[in-house]
Amino acid sequence: MEFLTFKVEIEEKIPKKIKVEITPIVYALLKNGEIIKLTTCIVEDFDHSHALDFDLKFSDSVLISYSDLVSSSYSRVKILKYSLPRNVLKIAEILEIKNLISDSLYYVVNIYKVKEEKMFVKEKTVKTKSIDETINIVNNLCASI
Amino acid sequence: MAAAKEISINYRELLNADIEAFEKLGKEVRHQLLPKLHEDYELALEIEPKVRKGEREIVRTLSLCPSCLRLLKAVIFEREKKVWIRKECPVHGEIEEIYWGDYDLYMRFKEWQFDGKGVKNTNVPLLTLCPYNCGLCPRHKSHTALLNLVATNRCDLSCWYCFFFAARAGYVYEPTLNHIRYMLREARKLAPVPPKALQITGGEPLLRDDIIELVKIAKEEGFTHVQVNTTGIRLAYDGELAKKLRQAGTNVLFMSFDGVTPHTNPKNHWEIPYALDNLRQAHLGVVLVPTIIRNVNDHELWDIIRFGVMNMDIVRGVNFQPVSLTGRVSKAERSRLRITIPDTLALIEKQSNGIISRYDWYPVPSVAPVSHFIEALTGKYQLTLTTHFACGAATYVFKDENGEVIPITRFVNVEEFLKYLEEKAEELERGKNKYLVMLDFFIKLRKFVDSKNAPKSLKKGKEIVKMLYQIFVRHDYSSLGKFHYKTLFIGMMHFQDLYNHDVARVQRCDIHYVSPDGRLIPFCSFNVIPVLYRDRVQKLYGIPIKVWEEIKGVSLARQKYKRNITTLVKGEPYRRHYREFIDVDNISIEEHIKISLKFGIPAE
């Protein structure tokens, strides 16, 4: 089973000035309650066949979509494909988002439930401003099972 | 089209249905109505359109093929100081269209882009790419600033260029009052900012016998601003209707007004004076809405503004709409008819001898700092206009005591003021003490107003500074109403068509239609891709004309308007309103009748 996410650098000048870097960190919550950080992934170049996946990931949480990529003056997007352990219960995807125009940093935590038919269902999305808060959310995953 | 064919609704059976029934039905059908890949459209994102010698690339975007609705990559570029869009369909070849008539103005306007915060609760999941996923979808960047409700597709006119009205569509689309209440409730669920402004449109909404009830429902459902989009023809004959509309809570009318002569405005030229007089009696303000077409009425732009200024006791604004070229239009025909926002601004500057220059205008999102400032100050989400900078422009003009027209930009440093507000909003968001910010605001406020160039009526007691103080410091908006009665709003909104279509604009659209299944659909998807949105859903919720006539016991054809030009032209209101613009006695009745007939409206 594979979990797909993106590492993104985007700079857009028209219509809106945007300069954002998105770095994902992926954790897996296993059925025995253990949380592991996934470190190994296959890296691929982005192409438009992944446009919908890109929009699903970022349109509501970061307010950027494929059309922003098309309009960007610079973009570098990599597809990261993580192999998941068999006994995975949930996925915690942390997106570290650096806004290089406002010089601000925030995090989006997406929690996915892994369904039997190898599907991921997003359970919740939380925005945080600090890494401590973000780690707490991930740790609380253990308590939720 | 296959997806829509699979679903059918017998609307006759829903005429007495309750709100819950419409809600259940809406939830059932809305996903099925969404356009489907390979059934309704194809993607062709491999082709990067070229930029040629003598052209300068500005930005790339997504667009549609006007022939097959394929999603294409497009390039927006500069050539000979104009802005163009080019795309290439693998089946239908290259399509090039003027995007904006003035590169320098484009670059000035782009500096004022502010994006919205998106919408938190969307009616459709993300299933496909923009613009085939409208409902709104999670990609949408702006909340609804103005909600459009199609009250009917019946119309008493049959303008030659319109394919929308019932007789040509082949069905009557006219949601019941319970259905409308459901639609409005669905729209009001939008978060974080529910819409408060509603436009009731058509067809001709005033053909509905229950229009007053409809306005009342809109008010009950929380719409504080209700405007009715009309030709005004019924109001020319029915002063009581104007009064009832006002009493029911209508705030303003949006009334078609394409020029000051019968040649440029064959739609409602003869009825406008009578409608205005009835609106005066009813104290119901009106915004004139001219559709501008090159080589048709673009020589009358300043006269239209003058007409508005001369009737400022009842005219609140003029909202120009450069024509959207719908249907198949040849390149030659497009070149002949196409006019863009900067072309219109340049003509107004020329025709007014510089009284209103192109630099007096600002793009719609330029006012976002006002919302940002109030939001930061109060901690409450505010309605924020965050359309694409190329979609619209606006300014205000004052009429001085001597009749002189003065744009607001001549005595208020709008640019500095808006930049200052944005800066202060950012300071507040970073946690700066709001009393310190307000103190600074109060001290600096006068700096933005140049009283010596202000209209005399505003010089007295530094009225404009007081007004700004009331709004921003005391949050007392009653002074804004006073401001409106001394000024004329002049706006411009260029809705897209398939030739100049830009997905970046669609994603920022803040004028949305509420669909009968409860979706909110951006204006330029609803009307620019009618086969996938407007016509698909309205046909589904429509009633065949014969069935409708049987239910109502009236003939649709008999509702067609026939104008009595002889009586209208001879009346005092006609002469009073137009004597500044045309030699009323120099146009024969036969000529008047000929103009009306040519447009498609029977006359005698």
pLDDT at B478: 66
Q: How far apart are the first and last CA of chain B?
A: 43
> CA–CA separation, B306 vs B439, rounded Å?
40
Q: Does A103 touch chain B (CB under 8 A)?
A: no
Do the domain assignments include residue B590?
A: yes
Domain that holds residue B565: 561-599
Q: What is the pLDDT of residue B326?
A: 85
- Asked if residue B585 belongs to a domain, the reply is yes
Chain A nearest-CA residue for B386: A16
Q: Is residue B79 part of a domain?
A: no
pLDDT at B2: 41
Characterize the bridge pairing of strands B285-289 and B291-292: unpaired
For residue A15, whether the previous peptide bond is cis, meaning omega lies within 30 degrees of 0, is: yes
Q: What is the DSSP letter of B324?
A: P
- A16, A17, A55 ranked by CB distance to B126: nearest: A55
B129–A63 CB contact, under 8 Å: no
Average pLDDT for chain B: 93
Q: Report the domain count for chain B.
A: 1
In angstroms, the Cα distances linking A71 to A75, B323, B522 are 9, 26, 20
CB pairs A-B closer than 8 Å = 68
Tell me whether A75 touches chain B (CB under 8 Å). no
Q: Is the distance from CB of B422 to CB of B373 less than 8 angstroms?
A: yes
The distance of A58 to chain B (nearest Cα, Å) reads 9
Specify the number of domains making up chain A: 1
Is the Cβ pair B126, A52 closer than 8 Å? yes
Q: Which of B57, B83, B124, B141 to mutate to test the interface with A (most CBs of A within 10 A)?
A: B141
The reported pLDDT for the residue numbered B3 is 46
Report pLDDT digits (tens) over B150-197.
999 999 988 777 767 788 889 999 999 999 999 999 999 999 999 999
Residue B348 contacts residue B356 (beta carbons within 8 Å)? yes
Q: Which residues of chain B have pLDDT under 50?
A: 1-4
Q: Do B139 and A67 touch (CB under 8 A)?
A: yes
How big is chain B, counted in residues?
A: 604
To the nearest whole angstrom, how far is the Cα of B102 from the nearest Cα of chain A?
A: 16
> Phi and psi (nearest 5°) for B556?
-60, -40
Per the structure, the complete domain to which residue A87 belongs is given by 2-143
Residue B331 resides in a domain? no
Q: What is the pTM of this model?
A: 0.95
For B14-43, the DSSP string reads: GTT--HHHHHHHHHHHHHHHS--BTTTB-E
- Measured CA to CA, the distance from residue B40 to residue B73 in angstroms comes to 18
Sign of CA dihedral B105, B110, B112, B118: positive
